[in-house]
Structure 1
Amino acid sequence: MEQLEKVFLQAQPDCEAFAELLDQEQQALINRDMDELEKLLSAKAPLVDALAHHDLAIRTWCSQIGIAPGDGLEAHIRSSGAATLLEVYSAFQNALQRCQAANLRNARLVRHNQQATGRLLDLLRNQGEASQSVYDRQGVASRSGNQRNLTKA
């Protein structure tokens, strides 16, 4: 059990550091700061490796004693009566949940930005409203008599 407690003690600060980077990534995504995003990607790589190492250690420990990671591990820790281990595990779980929430938030932000960029590209390619085209596919001004409302341009 001491080995598992040690893994949780090492994993928690890594989770918290990763969550902090995800918060910074959110701001860089909002600002569309590609230079900052590249820096953050480089900073996240060693933490991803460390978290993968912690995950492997937890899974190995679980397989050695014949329990399933996740709910099985939590039930085992709760039934062990080791208050310190339960406290460390809970702190680790909280940090892990913060990482997951921040990662999902950033993924939604990326999808939103991709959709907005796609719509803008469609407008530039004249794929949005064919009947009110300003330019044809060759980039030549449309010869139709239809005037396009400025808000639709």
Structure 2
Amino acid sequence: MSDALLSLINGDIDAARQLLQLIDDEYQALQARDLAQLQQLLEHKVPLMQQLERNGRERAAALQQAGVSVDRQGLEQFAQRSGNGELLVRGDELGALLDQCQDANQRNGRIIRAGQASTGRLLDILRGQDTPNLYDRRGSSTQSSRQRPLSQA
């Protein structure tokens, strides 16, 4: 059973490395605003994330079946019982890689949200819903309350 668990962890380490590389590539594509590249990256990310999720459930089931908790402490207990110290080392490596993936993904999410907000403000200006402040000759701001459809902008 420890060999099967180690095999799952090793497979997930490879998948997490690939996912981290794809997330870094996604960051570059976001900077370049390359939508075609982003679509390709997404198509490659989804199967890796599904594999990580599926294997995570299998690892959790194996630890529960062994009667230990489904966390690092449980993995440590299982590694001690089975005499396979590599399980804990590889488990820690997987955990660190998954943390890196999460941090990089959150970074990309912030970039996406900033782009969405910027695009939304520009569309509001074009539609006449959020006009920039203009000043008249007395220095007071004027607001145009007239809204127009985007086709007339």
**TM norm. shorter chain > 0.5:** yes
How far is the alpha carbon of 1:79 from its aligned partner? 5.2
Distance 1:53 1:105, change over 3 A: same
For residue 116 of structure 1, the aligned residue among 115, 118, 136 is 118
Aligned amino acid, residue 54 of structure 1: N
Q: Indicate the residue corresponding to 1:12 in structure 2.
A: 13
How far is the alpha carbon of 1:72 from its aligned partner? 4.1
Post-superposition Cα deviations, 1:19-67, rounded to whole Å, max 9, x if no partner, equal 1101111111222211011111111122122212211211111221233
In 1, Cα distance between equivalents of 2:73 and 2:28: 37
Distance 1:108 1:120, change over 3 A: same
For residue 102 of structure 1, the aligned residue among 96, 101, 104 is 104
Gapped runs of 5+ residues in structure 2?
134-141
Identity %: 30
How far is the alpha carbon of 1:75 from its aligned partner? 4.5
Moved over 4 A (4+): 77-81
Post-superposition Cα deviations, 1:82-137, rounded to whole Å, max 9, x if no partner, equal 4322211111111111111111111111111111111111111222248333x943
Gapped runs of 5+ residues in structure 1?
140-153
In 2, Cα distance between equivalents of 1:22 and 1:64: 34
Instruction: Select the structure with the greater relative contact order (CA < 8 A; seq sep ≥ 6).
Output: 1
Quote the RMSD (CA, aligned, Å). Answer: 2.3
The residue correspondences of 1:34-49 to structure 2 (distance < 5 A) are 34-49=35-50
For residue 84 of structure 1, the aligned residue among 86, 90, 100 is 86
